[in-house]
Structures are given as structure tokens and as C-alpha cells.
Amino acid sequence: MMDYRRGRIVVLDYPFTPSPSGGFLSLYQQEEAYNSYVVLHGYTPKDLKAPDRQEAIALITIRGVVQSIFGYPNEEAFWKDPRGHLGHGFFEVADSPWIDEINGYNAATFGTECMSGSAARHFFIGSKDASAQFLARDLAVEVFTGQPSDWVHGEALRRLSR
């Protein structure tokens, strides 16, 4: 997770878990767009052993995205993170130094900070073959069952173009 040893991992509780065989993590992000979107295949409810488990697709809205990292680390790396076992799912890195690094760069380059540390949070989405990290204001997860994958991807693109 950006090789930072600071920060406390907080599990975010959503009624969805990425597929352990690969969630087909897709990111939709556009320059100067306030929100970014992630589409991820998996299951609902969160417990993979639940008798009422269903295949599902999550549409994740990343609100107020400042910066993102897509594809790294993969599961072999993030399962060995020095802060503890992460696995698949949604996490926040509380007390992350990510915003401090951006502010330090901006202060050295432009003489001013980008934003206060409370204006953005560090989110991590862990999936089998790829992960995504976001410095953003908020993260929301919508779960779709019975919708075809291309519809959910299309919905992400529709929202991005608004």
C-alpha cells in the first residue's frame, strides 16, 4: 500500500466481497472529473459461506478523487503488508501520509499546500489480481444482482460523463 509503514488499516463494511478468483477490477477516471468509478465482480452478502450468497457486481463511486493508484499492489504483495493481513475487500488507511506527501511536494514547488489532511482520505480496494488506492473525500458501494456486466460498466461511463 504505497510502501508506507504509517497508517492504521480500517476495514470498511459493505454487503459485498470481491470474487476470490478475480474481480475483474475496472477503473473509470477522467481528468478534471470530481468522481471516479470502479466496477468489481464478486458476491453479496459479504460472507462467502452465506447460504443466500449471490453473484453480484459492485459499482463503487470514489467521490472527490485527488489521486489514484491502479493495479498495485497485487494480492501476493498486499497479503504481506507490514501493517497486517488485508485480503480482499474495502479498507481505509487512517492516518495515511499520502496527503502529506502531496502537500510537501506542492509546498516545495508552488509555495503552498494542496489541501488539509482532513479533506481527503486514503482508500484501498483489494482484489485478487489487482488493487486500487484512492485519495478522495468518500467512497460509496452500490451492489447489483441480476444486471449484466456491460450494463454496470455502461452506468459507470454514463455517470462519468455527467
- Per domain, the residue ranges of the chain are 8-160
- For residues 46-70, average pLDDT: 93
> Over the stretch 5-29, which tens digit does the pLDDT of each residue have?
678 889 999 999 999 887 899 999 9
Task: Count, in order, helices (H) and strands (E) of the chain.
Answer: 3, 10
Q: How far is CA 117 from the centre of its chain?
A: 18
User: What's the mean per-residue pLDDT of the chain?
Assistant: 87
Of residues 127, 56, 64, 66, the one with CA closest to residue 91: 127
Looking up cell 494542496 gives: 114
- Residue 118 confidence (pLDDT): 63
- Alpha-carbon Rg of the chain, whole angstroms? 16
The residues, any chain, with a CB within 8 Å of residue 4's CB and separated by 6 or more, are: 93, 96, 97, 98
Tens digit of pLDDT for each residue in 24-56? 999 999 998 999 999 999 999 988 889 999 999
Whether the pTM exceeds 0.75: the reply is: yes
For residues 125 and 90, the answer to whether their CB atoms sit within 8 Å is yes
CB count within 10 Å of CB 161 equals 9
**For 100, what's the count of Cα atoms within 13 Å in the CB-facing half-sphere?**
7
The amino acid present at 162, given as its one-letter code, is R
pLDDT (0 to 100) of residue 4: 54
Q: What is the pLDDT of residues 96-142, one digit of tens each?
A: 888 888 888 888 888 887 766 567 899 999 887 888 999 999 999 99
β partners of residue 15: none
Q: Taking 50 as the threshold, does the pLDDT of residue 1 lie above it? A: no
